[in-house]
Amino acid sequence: MKCLPQAKLEYAKGNVLHDWHAEVLAIRAFNRWLVDECAELARKGFGNDGAWVRWRREGREDEDADGHAPNGKGCAEGDGLHARLDHGVRGAESWQDQPFELHDDVRMDMYCSEAPCGDTSMELIMAGQEDATPWTQLPAGDEMLGRGNFDRLGVVRRKPARPDAPMTLSKSCSDKLAMKQCTSLLSGVTSLLVHPGRCYLGMVVLPESQCVPEAVGRAFGAEGRMKCMVDEGVQERWREAGYEFKPFKVKTTSREFEYSKRAAAAALGNTSAALVASNLSALYTPHKQEVLINGVLQGRRQFDPKGASCASRRRMWEAVADVAEAVHESTETFGSTDLARSTKKRSCVELKGSGQLEGRESVKRDVREMALKGWKRNLGDEDWGLDA
C-alpha cells in the first residue's frame, strides 16, 4: 500500500508522506519545485523574474492600465507596486498577498498511465470482475468506501481499496483531483507564497483503455458531482480569496506508457499476467530527486526525521518559512510581515488556522459539504512544529 495507515499518523510528525500514489506524489513534487523556484527569486531580490515564476505585478488596485503605480514608478522598480498590501485588506478571507505567481503562458497538464483510483475507475473495476453482481452488504454508518460496493457511483472513496489492508482516511486520487479543481494544485503552505490563479490543471491525459467518458464526467465534470460548484454565489465568495472552480479537460491517447501494466503484460506475452506493483516511488524535479519507500527516503526507518522527503509536510513548511523570511528582507511590500509571521506558528494546527489560509480552508469546506459529501478529514498528524 502507498498511504499511511490512520493508526500511524500520530507518529509521522510531518516527516512521513500520508499518501504517495503517483498522482499525489506528482502534485507534491510540483509544489516543491514551485517553492524552490520562489527561493531562487527571493535570493536574487525583487524584479528578477524566473523562466516559470515571477514576482507578482498584475491586478493591483493601485496600478493604472499600463501597470504603473500612482507614484509614477513602473513594475520593474517595485516601490508602490504593491501599495495596496501595505494599506490592509478586507479581511482574512480576501487575502491575496502572495509575492509570486506563474507567468501568463505557463499551463500544467498531467498524464496518468492508469485511471485514477476511486470514482473514475469504478466501471473498469466492474469490468474486471469475474462476477460483477452488485454487493448487497453496505458499509457501516459514515464509513468511506474502498473498492467495495463498486456499483455505488459518484461517492468519495478511501485508500487503500483492499479490505484486508490497514484502514486509512486518505481519499482516492479521483477525489483529490476533483478537489484540486477548486483549490488549485497548490498545497496550503505553497499558497502562502504563490497566487493560485494560474495554478490549476488544464488537462488530464489518459490511455484510451483507461478512460470511461461517463466516469470522467461524473467524477470531475461540471455536470457531474461537482455541478453545485458552478453556483455564482459560491464562486463570488471564492474569488475574494483568489480561487474558483476550474474543471480540467480529460483527453485520451493511443500511446501506452512503456512501464504500464498493459505494456508490461504484453512484453511478457501474457495479457492476463498477474503483475505486482513496486513498493518504490520516485520523485523528480530539476532541483530534487528522491527514491521513496513507505513514505520516506529509501534506506531510512519510516519515522526517522532524517528520512523526511523534500515534499513532506515538515520539509515544505521549513522551505516556505525560509522563502518568507527572504521575501521580508528583500521587500517590505507583499504583506511580507504577515507572510513571515504566519510561517512561524508553533504547530501545524496553528499554521492551518492562520488568517492567510482561511480563504483556502473555506473553499475546501464548501467542496466537502456540497459536492464531495462523505469526505472525512485525515486527522492525527497536526501536533508538531518546526522546533519539535
**Domain-wise residue ranges, the chain:** 6-370
Predicted local confidence at residue 332, as pLDDT: 62
Tens-binned pLDDT, residue by residue, of the chain (388 aa) = 899 999 999 999 999 999 999 999 999 999 999 999 999 999 999 888 999 999 997 544 433 334 333 333 333 333 333 333 333 333 444 568 899 999 999 999 999 999 999 999 999 988 887 776 666 666 666 678 887 788 789 999 999 767 778 889 999 999 999 999 999 999 999 999 999 999 999 999 999 999 999 999 999 999 999 999 999 999 999 999 999 999 999 999 999 898 888 888 888 887 666 677 788 999 999 999 999 999 999 999 999 999 999 999 999 999 999 999 999 887 766 567 888 888 999 899 999 998 899 999 999 999 999 999 999 999 999 999 998 6
Nearest to 359 by CA among 186, 183, 201, 197: 183
Q: What is the pTM of this model?
A: 0.89
User: What local confidence, expressed as pLDDT, does residue 110 receive?
Assistant: 98
pLDDT of residue 53: 97
CA distance 30 to 46: 23
Q: How far apart are the first and last CA of the chain?
A: 28
Residue 68 pLDDT = 36
Cell of 359: 480563504
3-state SS of the chain is CCECCHHHHHHHCCCCCCECCHHHHHHHHHHHHHHHHHHHHHHHCCCCCCCCEEECCCCCCCCCCCCCCCCCCCCCCCCCCCHHHHCCCCCHHHCCCCCEEECCCCCEEEECCCCCCCHHHHHHHHHCCCCCCCCCCCCCCCCCECCCCCCCCCCCEECCCCCCCCCCCCECHHHHHHHHHHHCCCCCCHHHCECHHHCCEEEEEEEHHHCCHHHHHHHHCCCCCCHHHHCHHHHHHHHCCCCCCCCCEEEEECCCCCCCHHHHHHHCCCCCCCCCCCCEEEEECCCCEEEEECCEECCCCCCCHHHCCCCCHHHHHHHHHHHHHHHHHHCCCCCHHHHHHHCCCCCHHHHHCCHHHHHHHHHHHHHHHHCCCCCCCCCCCCCCCCCC
Dihedral (Cα; 314, 320, 325, 326), 10-degree rounding: 130
ω into 160 cis (within 30 of 0): yes
Please tell me the predicted confidence (pLDDT) of residue 335: 65
Query: What's residue 73's pLDDT?
Result: 31
> Which one, of 372, 380, 384, lies nearest residue 154 by Cα?
372
Q: What is the pLDDT of residue 339?
A: 87
